Structure 1
Amino acid sequence: MAYNRPWLSFQQQLEQLKQRGMVVTDDAAALDYLQRIGYYRLSAYWYPFRHFRPEQCPATGLTEVKAQNDFVDNTQFIDAVNLYLFDKKLRLLLTDALERIEVSLRVDIAYLLGKRGTFAHVDVKQFHPSFVRKPMRGSNKTAWEFWLDKYQGLVSRSKEDFVRHYLVKHGPELPIWVAVEVFDFGALSQLISMMKMKDQQTIAEKYCVADWQVFKSWIFALSYLRNLVAHHSRLWNRNITTKPSIPAADDAPWYASFRRNEDLLSKPFLLLAITRQFMQCICPNTEWNARLQRHLLTFPEQYSDKKLSLNSVGVAANWLDWWDSK
């Protein structure tokens, strides 16, 4: 189908929302938000307040629940804005935590591999043979070839003075303790996934994870979370596409809250709980978990007849019982 929706001025966008039943109590403020944030970005936050009705799909004949253009009674523009602001602060809190986790992982990798060789990160013998040969989905490359291409791209695109200094003064390859500084979270996740099991276990234990396979899935999930946060994507009610594993043993009280609960395993709160554990292990005296808890408890109330809650984030029913525990 050809896309046929017309360009609308900010005023026309506002009038369209009113025509669809949205209550706007302050036109000037609403126009200001549309001009600064954009209709499309805000639409993700008023989407839950639309009516949903079953419709038959002409192509398949199946009945599907479809979002309608009109809004639930008493839905106000400020309902969407408040959710946007809540989500924005959530991402900012996660930006702080994920930066610290990423930096800590760089140190761990450089320290562990650096003992074996200055250029261990480009020496395939330092990694698990089966893991490095694993074919990458959607690619004709192995995991090792895929990672090397990514790493070399990060080096070639880097504008850091230290990268140019090392390449000019010391040769064509960066030592591992320098190379980690150009890694992004995705590169860290990919490199860890190829490490020998003993090495993955060594790093996992620093983050209070007893099972290296669980740890690998957590790093991959946090890489996904980092991408969402870095691109300012909606987070609060997202269904996550990367489901991390839950340890079989009850080494931490919060594991049981998620085990065998498919709904909670697909919501962002699980990623927040993982981030919390990593932060507590990196810095036992951190106040980050308390700041995040306070923020979650400010989840905005709505004027709309459609009421949303922290359930859309995927909080476990008993989360306040274990959130402050070590």
Structure 2
Amino acid sequence: MNVTDEPRAIQYLERMGYYRLSGYWYPFRQSRLITGADGRPTTQIIDQFRQGTEFRHVVELYVFDKRLRLLFLDAIERIEVALRVDVALLLGARDPSAHRNPKELHGHFAAKINPRTGDTNHKAWLARLDENERRSREDFVKHFRAKYSSDLPIWIAIELWDFGMLSTFLSGMKVADQDAIAAKYNIPRRELLTSWMRAINHIRNICAHHSRLWNCSPSDQPKPPRAGEIPLLDHLANDTFAQTRLYAVAAVIQFLLRRINPTTSWATRLNEHFASFPQAPGIAPGQSGFPASWETLPLWT
């Protein structure tokens, strides 16, 4: 790797850490084909960088990824806030404490014992909520405690849920309630909704922990719709590579944002950001799973 400014390179390493930055120079390493144990050719990464690799390329990729994480966090926040309102309005109309009432939830969540914990998943979820409420210093919580001795109603308590708690609770709601929320977003099957929320939460955690995002292969992928189910996502239905990379989550985020805010500029900002992708050997925007000319697809226009 060519290091043109060694003192500055040392400063970057001291600020960011060797192992954090090393994740960004991994794509610049050379590869070669070898014969595997099964006799088939396989790719092996070797400890030698591609010709023309410079330390500045690594830093540029790191900065690109940092800004990409901020873009995703911005979009996820919009989805999280909208879903909080949806859940609170739907369940709160029936019972202010619906989130604590097992009768208002799916039996698999509120009644079935988890053999690993010896308790229901709902009780484990409530324990986490109780801890959040106990530790909260939010003004709205202090105000409620000063006036009432009851538990926080769902429309207040939900403001203390993180996206992981929201996603878990959504999966634990009654089928009819899941259907109602899915329908609001023009999602034809509730299992798509719950799968998408888990996948978005996974990406949120990657962003929140400042981990590498641009070419990751998330372990929790959104379930793709069948061909014809959601025309805007038909291009995703048969694209296996896109389904296993960042693009799959970007696509469902964009689909949801179009419903939440039809005038959203997220697609434009994402396209502009990808236009700034570093020009360097061995890396390309397509490694994120974004198809060629993705920005011209109806989903993004």
* TM-score between the two structures when normalised by the length of structure 1: 0.83
**Alignment RMSD, CA only?**
2.7
Measure the CA separation in 1 of the matches of 2:45 and 2:95. Answer: 57
1:88-135 Cα offsets, whole Å, 9 max, x none, are: 111111111111111111111110011001111100100122343455
For 1:7-22, list aligned pairs within 5 A: 22=1
1:288-314 Cα offsets, whole Å, 9 max, x none, are: 111111112222110x3xx21122101
Please say if 1:186 is aligned against 2:164.
Answer: yes
When residues 138 and 77 of structure 1 are mapped into structure 2, their CA distance, relative to the original with a 3 A threshold, is: farther
Please say if 1:319 is aligned against 2:298.
Answer: no
1:241-282 Cα offsets, whole Å, 9 max, x none, are: 012111225244342222243322110111111111111111
Q: Which residue, 279, 287, 296 being the options, matches 1:301?
A: 279
Q: Which residue, 127, 130, 153 being the options, matches 1:149?
A: 127
Please say if 1:40 is aligned against 2:40.
Answer: no
Measure the CA separation in 1 of the matches of 2:151 and 2:194. Answer: 27
Counterpart secondary structure, 1:69: strand
Partners of 2:192 and 2:223 within 8 A in 1: yes
Counterpart secondary structure, 1:308: coil
Match of 1:116 in 2: 94
Partners of 2:267 and 2:300 within 8 A in 1: no
Measure the CA separation in 1 of the matches of 2:192 and 2:154. Answer: 25
Match of 1:129 in 2: 107
Partners of 2:84 and 2:158 within 8 A in 1: yes
For 1:143-292, list aligned pairs within 5 A: 143-292=121-270
User: What 5-or-longer segments of structure 2 have no aligned partner?
Assistant: none
When residues 53 and 318 of structure 1 are mapped into structure 2, their CA distance, relative to the original with a 3 A threshold, is: closer
Partners of 1:214 and 1:246 within 8 A in 2: yes
Percent of residue pairs bearing the same amino acid type: 39
Partners of 2:29 and 2:48 within 8 A in 1: yes
Measure the CA separation in 2 of the matches of 1:213 and 1:99. Answer: 22
Counterpart secondary structure, 1:235: coil
The Cα shift of 1:81 comes to 0.9
Partners of 1:253 and 1:322 within 8 A in 2: no
1:139-175 Cα offsets, whole Å, 9 max, x none, are: 4333212221222222223221322332343124101
Stretch of structure 1 that moved more, 311-320 or 172-181: 311-320
User: What 5-or-longer segments of structure 1 have no aligned partner?
Assistant: 1-21, 58-62
Measure the CA separation in 2 of the matches of 1:249 and 1:159. Answer: 48
Measure the CA separation in 2 of the matches of 1:197 and 1:219. Answer: 16
Partners of 1:53 and 1:66 within 8 A in 2: yes
Measure the CA separation in 2 of the matches of 1:237 and 1:301. Answer: 15
Name the amino acid aligned to 1:189. Answer: S
Number of residues paired by the alignment? 300
